[in-house]
Each structure stands twice: as structure tokens, then as C-alpha cells.
A = this chain, B = another copy of it.
């Protein structure tokens, strides 16, 4: 029987720490971390995400600015908005919610955010530092960083372990693979072109799935005692939010597993808040 990795409880704990750090920044340095979330257009899922981020930030004492821009905005206008926040010393973290309308080059926008305010950790220079296992301070994509917090909390040591990352997205798969590699795991990165995923997962101590497809893994695909982290968010036929893996089938076979919902999901926003405060603290260190 697996231990369930409780993302809700851990996110709550992390948020508690974050709010204490915010309080300390205010008292010791007269500084309030300030997160700017830029949203373009009226996509309802995006608006829901942004609202969640905004509410959580406010609850933790972070100053939160939601900058709503019209769907019709031009590339140059959007870059100008980012530039203003880059130059504003009060703003410590900036993110641009995706998706962006067609006339916008998302890559250029991501790269226009100052690396030291890049709270999503998507800027190539931050990605490069992560892949190089740089020991200085820089932001990292929040979902994988949240998974590392889970490993830490449940004392799951990655050193010398065989880890498998299913999925190679810029937001989850690649940074997650880099983090596990930096923590001492041997890491296999699998994806849609991989012919036999089971061949890898059957040898794995740690499996992270971020494919967005249902039932990527059942108990026949894993080694007994494996750790399974499910980053998937899918809607099943019954209309329920479920992960990638077959949770019920795996439950008796694995040692640790994250549920969906209540696993990785809650950690992403909590990590975003944590990293907003990280960036604020690091900015003070730079100013010294």
C-alpha cells in the first residue's frame, strides 16, 4: 500500500512559511514582494488561474497586480508593458499568463522579462543555469520545483536512483529532468516518439508523468516500490479531473504516489508564491 503524497497539506505548509517570510521582509526591510501577472484576452481558464494566483498572493501578504490587456494588443505594446514592470523597482516578480493571441511571439515575450524577475523560471538563461546545475540563485519552473519540495518533505532521496521523466515540455518535463539529474538521479527523458515506455518504467525507482494522456501507467508497468508522481491533469469520460496514471491499479504496487486532484496541482501555485518571495529576498542581496 502506497503512502499518498498529500499536495494540499504540503502546499498549505509551504504557504505558511511563505507568509512568514513575507512578514519578515516587511518588518526587517520595509519591503513587500510584488507580483505582476499579465493576462491578455479573456480565455476563461487563464482568468481562473490568474484569479487563483491573485487571491493566494493577497492572502500571503504579497502585493499582487493583475494587468489585463486586450486580445488585440500588439507585440510592441505588450513588450512595452513588460519593460515598464522590469524597470519598476517595486515589482519583484513578473509572469505573462499563456496562452497568448496569435499576433504575439510568446518566446520573445518570455525573454523580455528580466531574468531576475522571471518568477516562472522560463527565461532561457534561467533554464540554462538549471541545466548546468549552477549554484547561484535563479528561478526554476514552479511545477517541477514543487515536485522537488515533495521529494524533500517525504525524504525521497534521488541520489543514485533511476528516474524516468515521461514528457519533455519546457514547463514540466525538461526542468523536472534537470532537477532530478542535479539531485543525483540517472534520468531518462521519454516522450511521444519513445517506442517502449514500459521498458524504462519497469526499471525505474522514480517515475514522473506529464503527458496529458490517460492511463499511461498501470501496475504491470512499474517496479514494486517505485515512487510515482503524476503531473497530468485530464478530464475523464465521467467529467472528472484525473491524472495520467492509473492510480487505483498502482496503489498497492508502489511506495509513494500523488493523487489527482490534491497532488502536484496545489504545489504549483504555492511554489509560485514561494519563488515570488525568493526573488524579493535575492533582490535585497543584490542591492547590498
Q: Does A189 contact B (CB under 8 A)?
A: yes
Q: Does A190 contact B (CB under 8 A)?
A: yes
Given contacts A186-B189, A187-B188, contact A170 B203 (CB under 8 A): no
Q: Does A199 contact B (CB under 8 A)?
A: yes
Instruction: Give the nearest-CB partner of A199 in chain B.
Output: B203
A168 to B178, CA, bound (A): 11
B residues less than 8 Å from A125 (CB atoms): 124-125, 128
Tell me the interface secondary structure of chain A in the complex: mixed
Pair A188/B186 contact, Cβ less than 8 Å: yes
Pair B159/A193 contact, Cβ less than 8 Å: yes
B residues less than 8 Å from A131 (CB atoms): 127-128, 131, 174, 178
Instruction: Give the nearest-CB partner of A194 in chain B.
Output: B186
Pair B107/A170 contact, Cβ less than 8 Å: no
Distance of A240 from chain B, by nearest CB (Å): 31
Pair A123/B134 contact, Cβ less than 8 Å: no
Contact residues of A between 159 and 179, Cβ < 8 Å to B: 159-160, 162, 168, 170, 174, 177-178
B residues less than 8 Å from A186 (CB atoms): 188-191, 193-194, 200
A174 to B128, CA, bound (A): 11
Instruction: Give the nearest-CB partner of A124 in chain B.
Output: B128
Q: Does A195 contact B (CB under 8 A)?
A: yes
Smallest CB-CB A-B distances: 7 pairs = A128-B128, A124-B128, A127-B128, A188-B188, A125-B125, A186-B194, A160-B193
Which A residues are within 8 Å of any B CB, using their own CB?
Answer: 107, 123-129, 131-132, 134, 159-160, 162, 168, 170, 174, 177-178, 181, 184-191, 193-195, 199-200, 203
Extra A-B contacts (15), CB below 8 Å, given A124-B134, A188-B189: A107-B134, A124-B132, A127-B127, A128-B129, A132-B174, A159-B193, A160-B194, A168-B181, A186-B189, A186-B194, A187-B188, A187-B189, A188-B188, A188-B200, A189-B189
